[in-house]
């Protein structure tokens, strides 16, 4: 039995620093833990739930927030979406941003992404982890 030979002389592999981005500048921003008050958590839940206008309902799991150097919040959490027929999605990661520009200095929240919905799961996970919210 003869072993075939494969000629790889014309190929090249990417350098390790290109594959794993070793030389890439860290673009993450420093954050600090932020404990959400019950009224702020209610604002987040209301804003997120309000994005579903087709009969789906939202059940929340843990929600965490981190304060950026600009004073805004990065919010990450888990939700389960119940469809009108009763089926549930299971817990799915979401993220959004919060700022304290609501009347009276209260929190306003803007949902950004739902993993597996309007964004890839790995992107939402990566950004939440990079912010320290996971």
Q: What angle do CA 92, 96, 97 make, to 5 degrees?
A: 160
Domain contains 114:
yes
pLDDT higher than 90, residue 34 = yes
Any domain includes 20: no
Domain count for the chain, please give it: 1
User: What are the backbone angles phi and psi of residue 26, rounded to the nearest 5°?
Assistant: -70, 115
Q: Does a structural domain hold residue 13?
A: no
Q: Is residue 17 part of a domain?
A: no
* Residue 9: per-residue pLDDT: 65
Average pLDDT over residues 22-46: 82
pLDDT digit string, tens, across residues 51-80? 888 878 899 999 999 999 999 999 999 999
Phi and psi, residue 31, nearest 5°: -130, 160
Q: Domain range holding 85?
A: 29-131
- pLDDT reported for residue 98: 95
Residue 100 in domain: yes
| pLDDT greater than 70 at residue 21 | no
Report the pLDDT value the prediction gives residue 28, as an integer from 0 to 100: 61
Q: pLDDT tens digits for 2-12? A: 777 766 666 66
- For 64, other C-beta atoms within 10 Å of its C-beta total 19
Q: Is residue 9 part of a domain?
A: no
Task: With respect to residue 61, please indicate whether it lies within any of the assigned structural domains.
Answer: yes
The answer to whether residue 24 sits within a structural domain is no
């Amino acid at each position: 039995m003869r072993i075939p030979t494969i000629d790889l002389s014309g190929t090249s592999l990417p350098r390790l620093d290109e594959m794993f981005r070793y030389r890439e500048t860290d673009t993450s921003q420093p954050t600090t833990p932020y404990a959400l008050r019950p009224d702020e958590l209610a604002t987040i839940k209301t804003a997120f739930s309000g994005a579903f206008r087709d009969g789906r309902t939202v059940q929340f799991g843990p929600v965490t927030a981190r304060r950026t150097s600009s004073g805004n919040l990065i919010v990450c959490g888990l939700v389960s979406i119940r469809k009108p027929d009763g089926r549930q999605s299971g817990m799915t990661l979401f993220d959004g941003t919060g700022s304290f520009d609501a009347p009276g200095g209260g929190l306003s929240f803007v949902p950004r992404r739902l993993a597996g919905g309007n964004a890839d799961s790995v992107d939402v996970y990566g950004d939440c982890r990079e912010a320290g919210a996971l």
